[in-house]
Amino acid sequence: MKRVHRALVTATTTLAVMAASAAALATPEDADRAGLQQRLDDVVATGAVGALVEVRDEHGVWRGTSAVAERGTTRAVPVHGHFRVGSITKTFVATVALQLVGEGRLRLDDTVEAWLPGAVPNGDRITVRQLLNHTSGLYDFKRTLPMPPDPEFMDNRWRTWTAAEQVRRAVANPPSFDPPGSDYAYSNTGYLLLGQIVEEVTGRSYGEEIERRVIRPLRLRDTSLPGTSPRIRGPHPHGYVPIEQDGRTRLVDYTEMNPSVMGAGGEITSTTRDLNRFIAALLGGRLLPGHLLDEMKTPGVGGRKYGLGLAWQDTSCGVRVYGNDGDALAYQSWSFSTQDRRRQVTVALTPDFRADPDDVVDALLDKAFCD
């Protein structure tokens, strides 16, 4: 699910962060790596319980961590830690959908109505392309739910959701705009529908198709779709959300939760290594032919930096990087690569919601891509 922590910042309290500790696979004398470590420490100092990063460039692979894996302990963030990737899941789903397009089994101009009759109002006017690039206008399901710091948020922690009921909740609300394709509005609902369409086309769930088409061929051994399983497998930092309790806002451990609420919009768990490998394979043409990768890089609305499940941004030195970012509330992540794949960065953090970390994460990305 896309980053939503900006709305939470004002509801938090001054929650202390443990003194930073770092682990990096690099020589201490390496000034560039020391600079990266400092930027990672800045991320934690701004608003995180802990953070980890993997940078791949002409000097090799560098992995660093900062601060702690769990509040109230001195346990360092595991350098190969697993985390919930949030909306980076959408890039996996989009890749599978575009593979089906390449096989002639699905078309970008197919309508929702053609594959999921009656699923959404005016489904005959909404296309697969518009679901992928967030120009469908469909109301975002996530906005129908209580969110932190509302205590009611915790009522849904263990609930199992189906895509069909999520979509029904969404379409009970008017569209963000009309007609479809005329504007951009980020909507997790579109990706819930894409997950259902993948199942209609293939006879298998989107999770099975991601496993079969992406995870196994790329040997992403630390990437999984947990479905309804609440646990994060493998070593991992704990994640937290701010919740109002007894008149105060406290960070509550939200590491374990039922990820079906995110579904095809954000359920995947992974590692910095696996995400770097996935983005490199995607940009390198291992997963899609060139013309479909070009489609992925084409925005649905002029001026936007989001195509078909793929985002991009321009660094301070003018280098354009491609990938995506994600917010699973208790975990936030960014995974980007240069077009030539010579430099890649994946960073993940467990926010403490004292402040928005976007600017300091951008500074880390600039350091990795520009220096």
pLDDT digits (tens, 9 = 90+) for 105-151: 999 999 999 999 999 999 999 999 999 999 999 999 999 999 999 99
Q: State the helix-helix crossing angle for 88-102 and 272-283, rounded to 10 degrees.
A: 30
pLDDT at 330 exceeding the cut of 50: yes
Banded model confidence at residue 176, pLDDT cuts 50, 70, 90 = very high
Which of 21, 66, 87, 333 does the annotation list as catalytic?
87
**Looking at the DSSP assignment, which residues form a beta bridge with residue 50?**
67, 350
Q: Rg for the chain (alpha carbons), in Å?
A: 20
pLDDT at 3 exceeding the cut of 70: no
Query: In terms of C-beta density within 10 A (0-12 exposed, 13-18 middle, 19 or more buried), how is residue 340 classed?
Result: exposed
Give the domain extent around 218: 5-370
Per the CB < 8 A criterion, the answer to whether 87 and 132 are in contact is no
Beta carbons within 8 Å of 220's beta carbon, 6+ residues apart: 214, 270, 274, 277, 278
260 catalytic per annotation? no
pLDDT in tens, 84-102: 999 999 999 999 999 999 9
Higher pLDDT, 308 or 3: 308
Q: Alpha helices of the chain — where are they, by DSSP H?
A: 31-47, 88-102, 112-115, 128-132, 163-171, 188-202, 206-210, 216-218, 272-283, 290-296, 358-370
User: In angstroms, rounded to a whole number, what is the distance separating the alpha carbons of residues 140 and 144?
Assistant: 8
Confidence at residue 31, expressed as pLDDT on a 0 to 100 scale: 67
User: In angstroms, rounded to a whole number, what is the distance separating the alpha carbons of residues 71 and 16?
Assistant: 9
Higher pLDDT, 304 or 5: 304
Single-letter residue type at 170:
A
Other residues' Cβ atoms within 10 Å of the Cβ of residue 285: 11
On the question of a cis peptide bond just before residue 235, with omega within 30 degrees of 0, the verdict is no
- Given the DSSP bridges, would you call strands 60-67 and 22-24 parallel, antiparallel or unpaired? antiparallel
Kindly report the CATH number assigned to the domain that includes residue 57.
3.40.710.10
Per the CB < 8 A criterion, the answer to whether 171 and 164 are in contact is no
Q: Retrieve residue 291's tokens.
A: 């013309």
User: In angstroms, rounded to a whole number, what is the distance separating the alpha carbons of residues 303 and 316?
Assistant: 18
Confidence at residue 30, expressed as pLDDT on a 0 to 100 scale: 60
Q: Retrieve residue 254's tokens.
A: 């939200």
The residue to which tokens 């601060």 are assigned: 67
pLDDT in tens, 195-249: 999 999 999 999 999 999 999 999 999 999 999 999 999 999 999 999 999 999 9
pLDDT at 13 exceeding the cut of 90: no
Confidence at residue 368, expressed as pLDDT on a 0 to 100 scale: 97
Other residues' Cβ atoms within 10 Å of the Cβ of residue 231: 12
DSSP of 303-340: T-SB-SS-EEEE-TTS-EEEEEEEE-SS-EEEEEEETT
DSSP of 52-108: EEEEEETTEEEEEEEEBSSTTS-PBPPTT--EE-TTHHHHHHHHHHHHHHHTTS--T
Q: Retrieve residue 203's tokens.
A: 């006879």
Q: Structure pTM? A: 0.92
- The number of distinct structural domains making up the chain is 1
User: In angstroms, rounded to a whole number, what is the distance separating the alpha carbons of residues 65 and 87?
Assistant: 22
Cα separations (Å) of 291 from 75, 128, 130, 196? Answer: 47, 17, 18, 25
pLDDT at 8 exceeding the cut of 90: no
On the question of a cis peptide bond just before residue 179, with omega within 30 degrees of 0, the verdict is yes
